[in-house]
Amino acid sequence: MEIFDDLEAEYDRLDGIFAELSEAEWLSPSDAAGWRVVDVLLHLAQTEEAVEATVTGAPGPSSGVAGVAAPDRGAVSVDEAVDRWVAAERAGPEVVYPRWQAARRRSVDVLRGADPDRASQWASAPLRPATMATTRLAEHWAHALDIVGPLSIPYPDTARLRHIAWLAHRSLPYAFTVAGEQAGPVRVELTGPDGATWRFGPADAPSAISGPAGVFCRVGAQRLAPEESGLTATGPHGATALRVLRNYAA
């Protein structure tokens, strides 16, 4: 399936970047508040291990995040639980990098081999394997931005962003609900990195968002403020949809 191939391709691109990092770069601050570059990768390794555990039903890491890992997270927010998880297992790149490499290979294999119609609990909702793979692509892409930005490493947009844009549009009803806003149909028309047009949502929706796909995905990843994006939002729900846009559910 295309999403699994694209997820693996994104992992391979990241692996090539990680392979070239110096000790100083690994230990330098990322754009994820309070985390070094190596801490960002640790978080990704931990969540890849959680993917394997939740899909297979095997004993998983005790994170307080995903459904498999956190039945008793209680009043702790997802962000706080994730931060505690990273703090509890913080290690150097000689430990974290191979841990992520192993975890990402296993997670892709598990997702490829899973029953495509069987949903597994993840964050706030059960997800089928293809959708879970899409969330993994979205998370790795967003956290890659946290790493490459401070290190001034080129990370050009690719056509793989189409999966992330689809996820952001698909998540709009959830995003409206979390924000306590009245939902409404929204169509999205984006220009991909290669100039192709990507459309999501009903063509006759009264509200719309349009603009570059990379910008749309960055807003959904909370890496760019909606008011600074230059995206066009029209109709009764367009501006609100842009404000609540998210590429994830938590």
Q: Which long-range contacts (CB under 8 A, 24 or more apart) does 101-107 make?
A: 101/15, 103/45, 103/48, 103/49, 103/52, 104/11, 104/15, 104/44, 104/45, 104/48, 106/48, 106/49, 106/52, 107/48, 107/49, 107/51, 107/52, 107/136
- Report pLDDT for 70: 40
- Report pLDDT for 125: 84
- The CATH label, of 3.30.1050, 3.40.50, 3.30.1360, 1.10.287, for the domain at 161-244 is 3.30.1050
Does 18 score more than 50 pLDDT?
yes
Residues of each domain in the chain carrying CATH 1.20.120.450: 2-151
With beta carbons less than 8 A apart as the criterion, state whether 250 and 216 touch: no
Quick one: tokens of 123? Answer: 């964050």
Does 59 score more than 90 pLDDT?
no
Across the range 48-74, mean pLDDT stands at 66
Residues of each domain in the chain carrying CATH 3.30.1050: 161-244
- Domain 2-151 adopts which CATH fold? Four Helix Bundle (Hemerythrin (Met), subunit A) (1.20.120)
At 88-115, the pLDDT tens digits run: 999 999 999 999 999 999 999 999 999 9
